[in-house]
Structure formats: C-alpha cells, structure tokens
Amino acid sequence: MINLDMARIFDEIADIFEVKGENPFKIRAYRRAARTIETLTQDLKVIAERGGISELKKIPGVGDAIAKKILEIAETGECKKHIELKQEVPAGLLELLAIPRIGPKTAAKVHDELGICCIADLEEAAKLHHLEKLPGLGTKVEENIIKGIAQYRRYKGRVLLSEALPRAESIVTELKKLDSVSKITIAGSLRRMRETIGDIDILVVSNSPQAVMAAFTCLDGVEDIVAKGDTKSAIILNGVDVDLRVVAETSFGAAAHYFTGSKHHNIKIRELGMKQGLKINEYGIFRGDERIGGEDEADVFESVGLAYIPPELREDRGEIEAAKANRIPKLVAANDIKGDLHVHTNWSDGKNSIEEMAMTAISSGYEYIAVADHSPAVGIAGGMTAEKIMKRQEEIEKLNTGFEDDGIKFRVLSASEVDIKSDFSMDFPDYVLESLDVVVGAIHTKFSQDRETMTTRLVTAIENPNVDIIAHPTGRLLGKRDPYEVDMAQLMESAKATGTIMELNSFPGRLDLNDVHCKMAKDYGVLIAISTDAHDAMQMRDVIKYGVATARRGWLEPKDVVNTRGLEEVMKVMKR
C-alpha cells in the first residue's frame, strides 16, 4: 500500500459521496486529503506505524476521521467504510464521473432513470437518443456526452503539457493580432506548468469582447463551441478544452492570480486576506467596498504581505510560508542550462550523428553534451558493444580536438545509458564503465519486480562507483505506464551518501523524477541533472523546457541542478 493507493481510496470515497449527494464539506475534506497524500514525500504507512493518529493529524488536511482511516488502511490494507460505500453504488457509475462534462447529478440521473452503469451503456443510450428525453438533459447535453466520451477515451480527460503549451501559445498569438486585445495571459494549470493539463485557461482585457469571442470561436481547429458569451467562452480545439475569459483592465491582475490557481493556493491567500480585513477575489482586492488593488498580479501578494510567488510554486506546498519568510527560491531557468548529460546519437537509436548533436548544442549555447548511447541489453534500441564504444571514442576525440583547434569552448563527453539488469548487475563490465566520462544507469526491463527488489536494484546501481547518474528513476510513462514501486527515500539517502546524481528526464511523456521528487532530492541534498534523453537534435533543443518547468515546480535553484555548471565543475562531481 503506497500513498498513491491511499489517495485513490479517499478520492473514491469522495466520488461516491458526490453521487449520493452528500454534504459538500465532507466531500471536499476527502478530496483535500487525497491531494495532500498523493504529494506527500514521506511514506504514510511509516508515519502511521511510528506516530499513530496524533502524528497523522499533523499532516495538513488530515483530521480525526481521515487519520483513523489512514491508520486502518496502514494496518489492514483496506478501509471498511470505503468497502461499504462501494457496495452502495454500481462500480461503473463512478467510471462515468471521469467523463468530461458529466457531473454526479447527471451520472445519478442516467443511472436511476435508464439503469446505465458503465461508459459503454451510456454511449449506446446517447447514440439511440435516449438521453435527450430525460428531464433537464436535452439534445445539446446528449451531444456533449458523446463528445465527452470520445475525449475521455482519447485523452483520459487530460493532455500532456507538451501538447497544451504550443496550442495555447498559438491561440495567444492569434488573439494578440486583434486591436481590441490590450492584455492577454495564459492561466490555470498550464501557467503553473503541471505535467498534464485538464483544460487551457486564457484571460484577456479587451474593449470589444464580442470581437474577441468571435475570433476565438473561429480559430483553426475548433471542433466544438461549448459555450459562447461576452465574458466567457469555451471551445474544444483539436480535442483540447479551452476556456477564454474577458476581464476588466482593473481586475486583470486579480483575475490572473485567481484563474492561475491552484485552488488550494487561492484558498490560503484568500484566508490570509480575510485575516487582514480584505476581500480577495477574481475582481480585485477590497477593503469593505473600496478597491485597493487588482490591476497587477503583484498587488495580490503585496496586499497580504507576501513576496511574489512564481506560478509554478502555487500548489500550497509551503510556498505561502516561504513567501512570508521572504525565502522564495530563485528558480532555475532555461538560460541557466549549460549542457545535456543524456542524449542519443546514431551510434545507437538516435537519428543524428555526434557532430550534428554537437553543432545544435553549440548553437543553444551549451558547453558540453554527454552522448549516452544504449548498452547491449537494450537490443531494440541498437545497444552498443564494448568494441563499438572504442570506435565511437575515436570519433569523439577527433571532434573534441577540432573544437579545441577552432577555439570553441565545447566538449563531447563519452557516455552510455547502461541498463541496470534485473539481477542487479550493470550491462557493461567495470573496465568499460571506467573508460567512459559519464555513466547513466537506467532500468528498461522487468518493471514488475516488487518494491524491495526494485529498491535494491537501484540502490546497487547508485552505490556502484562507476555510475554517475540514474536516468528516469521511476520509469513512468504518463498515461501509459505507472511508475514502478520503489522506496524513494532510500534512493535519495544512498544517492546523497554516494554523490550520485538523479535525472529529471525532460521528455514530456516522462518528466521523471516528477516535481515532488525533485523537491525531495533538493531537501536531501541530492543533485539533479535536467537531461533530455533526446533521440535527435531538434528534441534536444525543444524538450529541455519541460524539464526546466518541472524543476521549477520542484523548487530547484541553479545550484541544485548539475548541468547549470560549466564543464570543469560538472566533471568534478562525476565519480571518477
């Protein structure tokens, strides 16, 4: 039982309460606990065993009732209340709630009236137009349900950051062309750079809202107009939901803050305001009826005596306390990055030659790249043999000599992404590992080993005096493969003890380590390498921003990230 499983149980309890129309405060308490638990870096089971109820209640959002349930789950592996509740509603009914635009009321209605209790039934009923006849539903709702089901199937309701960001940027570019648009910003989870995005939120200031809404709903790629009004419209653009709001100039900062969220961050800020007799909402900052600010976002933080908080930190994970103490970290930025310690070339499964990768890196202002072609075990990825590494070495040396002769401050580092095998051994003998500048260890097989075995497997690699970096340490593929089970605290402890670096893989479908684990690494004093794992030069150039964004969400500063250092400093932290 890991934290994530506990969070799922509490989410499900909240779902069932929603379908049953229970007290909203109760529902919110379970949701809040689930959100807290899933981002907690300590193991709940350990906290429960060590400190019992009183220790659990120190976790924000965990009250008496939830603490008792956590203890029960830690001890027995299940929660009686959860099991009882599950028997009260058909399992498929809960599944319906995952569909965009289906709320608990609609779910309960289609179930009670038509006996629908799974997505397939719902789809069939919608296609046979049985839903439009239900009181309060109608044709439009029925159409939306059909589209919602399609979207759910395609995207499970969320899209990757890398899909949402370019779409949002191009919408912003288009709307900026309108004379009437004087201000525009991306808001929501996208501005916070979450790894997946539910919907894109955009805010504009305009003296002609109708013109903005007309342009917005006619954008290329609009599949559906969900709502169209003067202050708010919503569309589906190439399968992604987009909300657009027009706000008054005087409210722009307050609205930007409110709609950037996160919700939990907002709630805390609003509470701080209330303590000082202020009302803070999306329209502005008010003392009584008097508006005292709201045109700039900075007004919101100033009004409650806080330092400015960058959007990536607004998750109620301690940023408000840090801002109060004036200890907001100076977050790492894209232009701090001086090199890439994990790229592939055509010596294994990459598309470009070493030289091509190097030239692109140089044009990005980098001082080094580590070409980390695969070891033999990863056969499908064209793994190298020891012999091939020697040949590659010749090419690397020739290139490096060339750079030196031309006075270019750049070096290609000889590296390999070496498989950490299921028997805990590395996929190259020591003498090969010793010959490399950088060794990146990674797991590619047998993801299903149990937690203890997986932890030992990784710790063995971390403790290997030839392994410098652990690549994509949890192995997850967003929306496709869950992270393997591993004791992250133990990994961090041994990484700290051995000076091993943890990778933040910038690939948008990986982002591994995630934001929470990056913060954990920082707290342990473990260095992070923001690497791209690029298989061609364009990727190397384009995906680093997603890694940097995740690092910022993980509170990382340049000093926490090894590849913000120049070549010499980097080589000092490699083990040999």
**Residues at the contact surface with ligand DGT, assessed by CB under 6 A:** 188-189, 194, 197-199, 201, 258-259, 261-263, 266-267
Retrieve residue 539's tokens: 């990727």
Distance CA 461, CA 459 (A): 5
Nearer to Ca ion, 196 or 539 (CB): 196
Shortest Cβ distance from residue 346 to ligand DGT (Å)?
38
Nearer to Ca ion, 297 or 487 (CB): 297
Nearer to ligand DGT, 195 or 487 (CB): 195
Nearer to ligand DGT, 155 or 410 (CB): 155
Nearer to ligand DGT, 259 or 301 (CB): 259
Q: Taking a C-beta distance cutoff of 8 angstroms, is the pair 304, 496 a contact?
A: no
Shortest Cβ distance from residue 457 to ligand DGT (Å)?
34
**Binding partner at 147 among ligand DGT, Ca ion, none, C-beta below 5 to 8 Å by kind:** none
**Binding partner at 246 among Ca ion, ligand DGT, none, C-beta below 5 to 8 Å by kind:** none
Element holding 291 (H helix, E strand): strand 290-293
**Binding partner at 437 among Ca ion, ligand DGT, none, C-beta below 5 to 8 Å by kind:** none
Neighbour-count burial for 266-301, b at 16+ CB within 10 Å, e otherwise: bebbbebbeeeebbbbbbbbbeeeebebbbebebbb
* Phi, psi at 334, each rounded to 5°: -55, -40
Shortest Cβ distance from residue 17 to ligand DGT (Å)?
17
Query: What is the CB neighbour count within 10 angstroms for residue 44?
Result: 22
Longest dimension (CA), the chain: 79
Shortest Cβ distance from residue 231 to Ca ion (Å)?
14
Nearer to Ca ion, 199 or 336 (CB): 199
Q: Which residues bind Ca ion (CB under 5 A)?
A: 188-189, 199, 201, 243
Shortest Cβ distance from residue 185 to ligand DGT (Å)?
12
Sheet holding 200-206, edge to edge: 181-187, 200-206, 240-246, 232-237, 222-228
**Binding partner at 267 among Ca ion, ligand DGT, none, C-beta below 5 to 8 Å by kind:** ligand DGT
How many alpha carbons fall within 13 Å on the CB side of residue 410?
25
One-character DSSP codes across 193-241:
T-SEES-EEEEEEES-HHHHHHHHHTSTTEEEEEEE-SSEEEEEETTEE
**Binding partner at 17 among ligand DGT, Ca ion, none, C-beta below 5 to 8 Å by kind:** none
Strand extents, DSSP E, 401-537: 411-419, 438-442, 469-470, 501-505, 528-531
Shortest Cβ distance from residue 164 to ligand DGT (Å)?
8
**Binding partner at 500 among ligand DGT, Ca ion, none, C-beta below 5 to 8 Å by kind:** none
Nearer to Ca ion, 189 or 563 (CB): 189
Q: Taking a C-beta distance cutoff of 8 angstroms, is the pair 300, 276 a contact?
A: no
User: Residue 46: what residue type?
Assistant: V
Residues shown for the chain: 576
Nearer to Ca ion, 167 or 535 (CB): 167
Question: How far, in Å, are 11, 134, 372, 477, 507 from residue 549 at the CA level?
Answer: 27, 45, 23, 18, 12
Shortest Cβ distance from residue 226 to ligand DGT (Å)?
13
Shortest Cβ distance from residue 112 to ligand DGT (Å)?
27
**Binding partner at 266 among Ca ion, ligand DGT, none, C-beta below 5 to 8 Å by kind:** ligand DGT
Shortest Cβ distance from residue 259 to ligand DGT (Å)?
4
Distance CA 36, CA 72 (A): 18
Q: Tell me whether residue 222 is exposed, middle or buried, using C-beta atoms within 10 angstroms of its C-beta: 0 to 12, 13 to 18, 19 or more.
A: middle
Asked if omega into 363 is within 30° of 0 (cis), the reply is: no
Which single residue brings its beta carbon nearest to Ca ion?
A: 188
**Binding partner at 373 among Ca ion, ligand DGT, none, C-beta below 5 to 8 Å by kind:** none
Nearer to ligand DGT, 243 or 295 (CB): 243
Shortest Cβ distance from residue 468 to ligand DGT (Å)?
35
Nearer to Ca ion, 201 or 427 (CB): 201
**Binding partner at 273 among ligand DGT, Ca ion, none, C-beta below 5 to 8 Å by kind:** none
